[in-house]
Amino acid sequence: MSSRIAIIGAGYVGLTTGACFAHLGHDVVCADIDESKVERLSRGELPIYEPGLEQIVTDALRSGRLRFVVGAAVAAAECEFAYLCVPTPQGDDGSADLSYIEQAARQIAPVLPPNAVVVNKSTVPVGSTKVVERVLARPDVKVVSNPEFLREGSAVADFLKPDRIVIGSDDQSAAIRVASLYSSIAAPLIVTDPASAETIKYAANAFLATKISFVNAVAAICENVGADINDVVLGIGYDKRIGHDFLRPGPGWGGSCFPKDTRALVKIAEDASYDFNLLKGVIVVNDEQRERMVDKVRSAAGGSLDGVVIAAWGLTFKANTDDLRESPALAIIAALVKEGAIVRAYDPQVANDLPGVEVHSDAFAACEGAAVLVVLTEWDDFRLIDLDEVQRRMIGTEIVDTRNLLDRAAARRAGFMYRGVGR
Ligand SMILES: NC(=O)c1ccc[n+]([C@@H]2O[C@H](COP(=O)([O-])OP(=O)(O)OC[C@H]3O[C@@H](n4cnc5c(N)ncnc54)[C@H](O)[C@@H]3O)[C@@H](O)[C@H]2O)c1
C-alpha cells in the first residue's frame, strides 16, 4: 500500500531514504533548507556521489512519486509520515547536538495532519523520541525511532536490502504503521521501545569502530613481532564468531558518523553513570593510528618532512563516496603539511584544492616530483595502477600504503620501497 511520506533533510540519509521509499511505491516529498540543493535535485542532479542513487532519483522523479521542496513545513503539510533526517553533529561536550532535530520538529508541528507519525531517522541519543514529542506538543502525533544503518558508498543497496529494520515505539499501532512502509522488503524486523532502538544504533556504530581499532592495534603488534596482519585477519576471520567484515587495517576510522557517535555514546554512558573505558580506548587507538601513519611517512621521507613533496592518493574517508567529513586522509595530510611537507593530492571524487593542498586531476600528475607516495583511501582506481609510470613521475622511491591496497610485490618490482600497515 502506498503512503504519503515527508522527508525532512535531503542529505546522504534523507535523499537515499526518500528516493528508495519512492522506488518502493510511496508518494514522497523531500524537503531541505538549501534552496540550490532543492533546485538541483528537482532537475535530477545529485549534490552527492552515491553509486546507483542518481538512477533511482531520476526514475522516481519521472514517475511523479518523488518531489523536492524548500522547507520542512511545505513537505509535512499533507503527509502521513514525517521522517527527520537532519544532522545531529557533535556538541561541545561530546553529546549529540539536537538543535536541528528540534528546529525541524518545531517547523512541522503546526502543519502535520491529525494522527501523522513523526519518525526519527537521524542518529539521536536515548530519550530523543521524548524530546521530539515535547517540541511537537501534538498528542495526536506519535513519534517513532527508526534508525538508519546505511553505509555511504552502498547506501541504496543497504536501504533496499538491509540486514535488519529497527523500529522503536511505545505505541504499537504507530510501530505497525511504520513497519508497513517496508512491507515489500524482506529483512528481520525488530520492534522495540524507543530507548532500545536508539541504543541499538549507537551500539552498532561503536562496535564497528571497535573492530577497526582492534585490528589496527593488532597491526601495530604485527609490525613489532614480524607477523603479517593480512594473514592474521584471514586466520581469525574464518572463525564464524568473528567474521571477515570490518577487519581491514588502515589509517583509522572517520566519516560523518563514527567519530561523533562514539563520543556521543561515551557521553550517554557517562550520563547513565557508566564509565565506558572500552570505547574511550577505541577512540584513543584511532587517534594514535593517524599519528602512526604520519610517523611512517616521516620516516619514509628520511626523518623530516620539511620541504618534502608528498603525493597523496585518496582524500575521502573511504572509497565510493565524495564525503570528506572527518576523513582520516585529511587529518593525516594536515599533520604532514604542519611539518612542512608539500602535498599534491588526487582523489577520483574531489576536484577542488583543499586548504594547503593542491588537488590534481589524475593520479600520475599528483606524483610528479614526489619523494613519497602515500595511499590514504582504498579506491579501486589505485589498486592496479601502472606503478612503473608512477615511479617515472616521482623523484623518490617510497610508498606508504595505509590501506594495504597495492600489490606489494608489484611495487617492489617497480623499484619502490613499500611500507604497508601491520606487515
Ligand atoms: N551519512 C551516513 O552515512 C549516515 C548513516 C546513518 C545515519 N546517519 C545519521 O543521519 C543523520 C543525517 O546525516 P546525513 O549524513 O544525511 O547529513 P547531511 O548533512 O548529509 O544532510 C542533512 C540535511 O538536512 C538539511 N536540513 C537541516 N535542517 C533542516 C530543516 N530544518 N529542514 C529541512 N532540511 C534541513 C541540511 O541542509 C542537509 O541537506 C545524522 O544524524 C547522521 O548521524 C548518517
> Which three three-digit cell numbers place residue 49?
556521489
Q: Check if CATH label 3.40.50.720 holds for domain 4-190.
A: yes
* Residue in the structure block whose three cell numbers are 604532514: 336
Across all residues in the chain, what is the average pLDDT? 97
Among 2.40.10.220, 3.40.50.720, 3.40.50.300, 2.70.98.10, what is the CATH number of 193-423? Answer: 3.40.50.720
- Say how many Å lie between the CA of residue 348 and the centre of ligand 1: 24
- Say if residues 343 and 337 touch (Cβ distance below 8 Å): yes
The Cα-based distances of 418 to 158, 291, 397, 400 in angstroms read 35, 19, 8, 6
Q: From CA 65, how far away is CA 78, in angstroms rounded? A: 14
Specify the ligand 1 atom closest to the Cα of 86: 24
Residue whose CA lies nearest to ligand 1 atom number 26: 9
Query: What number of helices (H) and strands (E) belong to the chain?
Result: 17, 14
Q: What is the mean pLDDT of residues 361-374?
A: 98
Give the count of beta carbons closer than 10 Å to the beta carbon of residue 188.
Answer: 9
- Say if residues 354 and 320 touch (Cβ distance below 8 Å): no
- Say if residues 155 and 50 touch (Cβ distance below 8 Å): yes
- For the chain, the C-alpha Rg in angstroms (whole number) is 23
- Say how many Å lie between the CA of residue 8 and the centre of ligand 1: 9
- Say if residues 373 and 390 touch (Cβ distance below 8 Å): yes
- Say if residues 380 and 405 touch (Cβ distance below 8 Å): no
Give the mutation target among 256, 265, 322 for probing the ligand 1 site: most ligand atoms within 8 A of CB. 256
pLDDT tens-digit map of 323-338 = 999 999 999 999 999 9
- Kindly list the domain boundaries of the chain, sorted by start residue: 4-190, 193-423
What DSSP character marks residue 221?
Answer: H
pLDDT tens-digit map of 72-116 = 999 999 999 999 999 999 999 999 999 999 999 999 999 999 999
Model confidence band, residue 1 (pLDDT cutoffs 50, 70, 90):
confident
Question: Which residues are catalytically annotated?
Answer: 257
- Say how many Å lie between the CA of residue 259 and the centre of ligand 1: 15
**3-state secondary structure (DSSP) of residue 128:** helix
Tell me which residues have their CB closer than 6 angstroms to ligand 1.
Answer: 8-14, 31-34, 37, 72, 85-88, 100, 103-104, 107, 122-123, 148, 150, 152, 256-257
Domains 4-190 and 193-423 share a fold: yes
- Say if residues 170 and 338 touch (Cβ distance below 8 Å): no
Q: What is the pLDDT of residue 33?
A: 98
Exposure string of 60-88, with b = 16+ CB inside 10 Å and e = fewer, is: bbeeebbbbbbbbbbbbbebbbbbbbbbb
- Say how many Å lie between the CA of residue 100 and the centre of ligand 1: 9
**3-state secondary structure (DSSP) of residue 326:** coil
Q: What is the pLDDT of residue 353?
A: 86
Give the mutation target among 85, 88, 317 for probing the ligand 1 site: most ligand atoms within 8 A of CB. 85
Bridge partner residues of 360 (DSSP): 346
- Say how many Å lie between the CA of residue 362 and the centre of ligand 1: 31
Model confidence band, residue 221 (pLDDT cutoffs 50, 70, 90):
very high
Residue whose CA lies nearest to ligand 1 atom number 27: 86
- Say if residues 253 and 286 touch (Cβ distance below 8 Å): yes
With a CB cutoff of 8 Å and minimum separation 6, the contacts of 327 are 254, 255, 315, 316, 317, 377
Residue whose CA lies nearest to ligand 1 atom number 21: 11
Specify the ligand 1 atom closest to the Cα of 12: 16
- Say how many Å lie between the CA of residue 393 and the centre of ligand 1: 41
Residue whose CA lies nearest to ligand 1 atom number 30: 104
pLDDT tens-digit map of 337-364 = 999 999 999 999 999 989 889 999 999 9
Query: Does the predicted TM-score (pTM) go above 0.85?
Result: yes
Specify the ligand 1 atom closest to the Cα of 13: 16
Percentage of residues of the chain with pLDDT beyond 90 = 99
Specify the ligand 1 atom closest to the Cα of 147: 7
**3-state secondary structure (DSSP) of residue 329:** helix
